[in-house]
């Protein structure tokens, strides 16, 4: 099945009546158990399920309307050249939804996170775009369907449709209709995530390429699905029982294992900077001294710390540059 | 089988006639395909085979003689306290060879490498000790048997019995009598190894503990044996054809994969320092610019570069602190 057929399977059943402009917001999400590896490149179907936490205050707001001639994309107020990577990727996604070949779109997206710095800007971007399209075309789709539509733009966007803890089911169907995200029960007041920006520069290797290279060349990746299975079980248990140490330990281990499979790829992918090692060691030192703080990392050099609100002021003392993203 | 039974199986058949003092030298060896994981803790039997290159000029010289009362160990001229880790480890090893319970040994060992800095000082140390015991007792054992005796002290010591490229067979027997090292054919004039000492401090986690923790807790480790099998094939082919890029690429990938399995352990083991990442990135940058240089790492933060003699002066310009260990 192609991505276009998948999109039409969902939107074709919806009786929309387009309005002039669609608008939506979607949060960034940080995976505690990572999405790493595709079983279908075109449909963004993952090898394993994954589990994330959405950061309600960081995300993308997207407006979309019709225009003629060609698509137009503004990111944070700056028009993107038509042959830029981002404009081409968005236009390719919009191809799935054009009523006819002469319909084009004007898209404006404002993001509160730096783009391509390992902060999942594409997840919130494509989730906001899918939601904005739903608003524009007045499809009134359910969140599951929207999660699938978002996934067709960027895998982890499937999870940015929701707030809180979110589980994205890998699914087994070839058409991906069982590969959607849904919320995991469990409010967790006081749970904090703090960002340490080691670098704001664009990554040398995109996560898309790093993921594909890992699947294609890493010998250790063969053991990744078993690792994920065990980590997901532990994370769900941690959320259910509000066991912060189990949550932190599992998320940290999962992130390290993902980076481990990258390092094992050929040629190796290493997102770590010297400062990454420095911050990791600092976190471990603080933890050895009794401060419950853990970290996770995505496909980039930056670090996301997990801690409880009661420890926030102490954490801030040790990491004055930290941006608290959730509390 | 116990290690004592294994030692007696070998030395019992030898008709020795002890002299006053035994002496031997054994080189350090750097694995290009790592020994990482034991299938038998007591006999130091490895999960996989491994392949190394001995550095003829770095190593340990050991003298051993009889004494009464208790064992005495001097490392680089400094007497080690009887309850120090090194003295206890050596005494435990000497237990395998005492003719009776009232025989003790005086051991002096001089090493040209810093101890416990990830430069395999225990490999050359126990290989030199096994060779010195053979000299002392006049066993006249063959190198295969000596490789097994050295292995009982420290796994990778099995390889330090030889110079050049060395393959240590994992073996399948429970008594380990088929788990010995032997030389791999292939002189390689011009092949150089340069050491970059990121840290000379003793490691926070010994490689023995790191290895055991990896085997016990790393999910990715399950894929390690398949990785080794493929790397060994590539290394042997590289040595046979003098294909430096294949040798370097494979050794580098194998080392990264070993560190990857450590990072995936619980709690994680990270030997990398910020400077380790800096040097790795520098090596990759130089390689991207056409300089054929690769690296390997053992269970520590230090880096061993692989390059050809023709590039040595250029390499030295970029790494003025490098110690050339082989050329």
Q: Are residues B195 and B325 in contact, defined by beta-carbon separation less than 8 angstroms?
A: yes
Nearest-by-Cβ selection for B273 from A259, A263, A277: A277
Residues A177 and A219 in one domain: no
Q: How many independent structural domains does chain A possess?
A: 2
* CATH value at residue A66: 3.30.230.10
* Yes or no, beta carbons of B277 and A280 under 8 Å apart: no
Residues B46 and B159 in one domain: yes
Which residues of chain A are within 8 Å of residue B281 when distances are taken between CB atoms? 270
Residues A214 and A158 in one domain: no
Which of B36, B48, B201, B219 is most worth mutating to test chain A (most A CB atoms within 10 A of its CB)? B219
Residues A150 and A209 in one domain: no
Mean pLDDT of chain B: 94
Give the integer Cα–Cα distance in Å for A195 and A321.
Answer: 9
pLDDT surpassing 90 at residue B201 = no
Give the integer Cα–Cα distance in Å for A203 and B125.
Answer: 45
Q: In this prediction, what percent of chain B has a pLDDT beyond 90?
A: 84
- Give the pLDDT confidence score for residue A320 in this predicted structure: 94
Q: Considering Cα of B228, then B230, then B231, then B232, what sign does the dihedral take?
A: positive
Backbone angles phi, psi at A105, to 5 degrees: -125, 150
Domain that holds residue B249: 191-326
Please tell me the distance in Å from B262's CA to the nearest CA on chain A.
Answer: 9
* Yes or no, beta carbons of A261 and B260 under 8 Å apart: yes
* CATH value at residue B268: 3.30.70.890
CB atoms within 10 A of CB B173: 11
B 211-240 residues inside an 8 A Cβ radius of A: 219-224, 226-227, 230
User: Which of residues B131, B164, B183 is at a domain's end?
Assistant: B183
Nearest-by-Cβ selection for B220 from A223, A266, A273: A223
- Kindly provide the ipTM of the predicted complex, given to two decimals: 0.89
Give the integer Cα–Cα distance in Å for B268 and B119.
Answer: 21
Q: Are residues B130 and B3 in contact, defined by beta-carbon separation less than 8 angstroms?
A: no
- In DSSP notation, A223-245 reads GHHHHHHHHHHHHHHHHHHT-HH
Residues A153 and A214 in one domain: no
- Give the pLDDT confidence score for residue A198 in this predicted structure: 87
Distance separating the N- and C-terminal Cα atoms of chain A: 41
Q: Are residues B324 and B312 in contact, defined by beta-carbon separation less than 8 angstroms?
A: yes
Tens-place pLDDT, residues B4-40? 999 999 998 777 789 999 999 999 999 999 999 999 9
Using the Cβ of A197 and the Cβ atoms of chain B, whether some distance falls under 8 Å is answered with no
B116 pLDDT tier (thresholds 50, 70, 90) = very low
Residues B248 and B229 in one domain: yes
- Give the pLDDT confidence score for residue B121 in this predicted structure: 78
Residues A213 and A140 in one domain: no
Please tell me the distance in Å from A322's CA to the nearest CA on chain B.
Answer: 20
A 264-303 residues inside an 8 A Cβ radius of B: 264, 266, 268, 270, 272-278, 280-281
Residues B139 and B263 in one domain: no
pLDDT mean values, one per 10 residues, chain A (327 residues): 93 84 96 98 97 92 96 95 95 95 95 63 94 97 97 97 97 97 94 89 86 97 98 98 98 98 96 96 97 96 95 96 80
Tens-place pLDDT, residues B231-274? 999 999 999 999 999 999 999 999 999 999 999 999 999 999 99
B117 pLDDT tier (thresholds 50, 70, 90) = very low
Give the integer Cα–Cα distance in Å for A139 and A132.
Answer: 10
Please tell me the distance in Å from A271's CA to the nearest CA on chain B.
Answer: 10
Residues B267 and B133 in one domain: no
Helix axes A143-153, A121-137, angle to 10 degrees: 130
Residue in A with minimal Cα distance to B275: A274
User: Which of residues A183, A218, A238 is at a domain's end?
Assistant: A183
Which residues of chain B are within 8 Å of residue A263 when distances are taken between CB atoms? 256-257, 259-260
Residues B79 and B15 in one domain: yes
User: Which of residues B128, B154, B183 is at a domain's end?
Assistant: B183
């Amino acid at each position: 099945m192609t991505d276009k057929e998948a999109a039409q399977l969902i939107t074709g059943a919806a009786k929309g009546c387009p309005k002039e402009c669609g608008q939506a917001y979607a949060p960034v999400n940080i995976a505690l158990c990572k999405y790493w590896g595709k079983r279908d490149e075109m449909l963004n179907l993952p090898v394993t399920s994954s589990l994330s936490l959405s950061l309600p205050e960081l995300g993308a707001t997207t407006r979309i309307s019709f225009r003629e001639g060609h698509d137009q994309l503004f990111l944070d107020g700056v028009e993107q050249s038509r042959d830029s990577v981002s404009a081409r990727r968005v236009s390719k996604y919009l191809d799935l939804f054009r009523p006819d070949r002469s319909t084009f779109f004007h898209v404006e997206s404002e993001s509160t996170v730096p783009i391509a710095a390992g902060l999942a800007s594409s997840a919130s971007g494509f989730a906001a775009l899918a939601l904005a399209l739903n608003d524009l075309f007045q499809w009134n789709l359910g969140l599951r369907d929207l999660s699938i539509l978002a996934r067709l733009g960027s895998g982890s966007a499937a999870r940015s449709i929701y707030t809180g803890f979110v589980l994205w089911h890998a699914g087994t169907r070839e058409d991906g209709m069982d590969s959607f995200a849904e919320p995991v029960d469990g409010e967790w007041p006081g749970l904090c995530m703090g960002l340490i920006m080691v670098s704001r520069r664009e990554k040398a290797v995109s996560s898309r390429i790093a993921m594909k290279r890992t699947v294609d060349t890493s010998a250790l990746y063969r053991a990744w699905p078993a690792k994920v299975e065990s980590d997901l079980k532990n994370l769900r248990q941690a959320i259910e029982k509000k066991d912060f140490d189990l949550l932190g330990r599992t998320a940290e281990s999962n992130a390290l294992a993902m980076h481990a499979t990258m390092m094992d790829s050929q040629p190796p992918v290493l997102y770590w900077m010297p400062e990454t090692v420095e911050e990791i060691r600092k976190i471990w030192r603080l933890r050895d001294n009794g401060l419950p703080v853990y970290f996770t990392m995505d496909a980039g050099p930056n670090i996301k710390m997990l801690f409880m609100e009661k420890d926030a002021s102490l954490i801030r003392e040790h990491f004055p540059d930290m941006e608290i993203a959730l509390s």
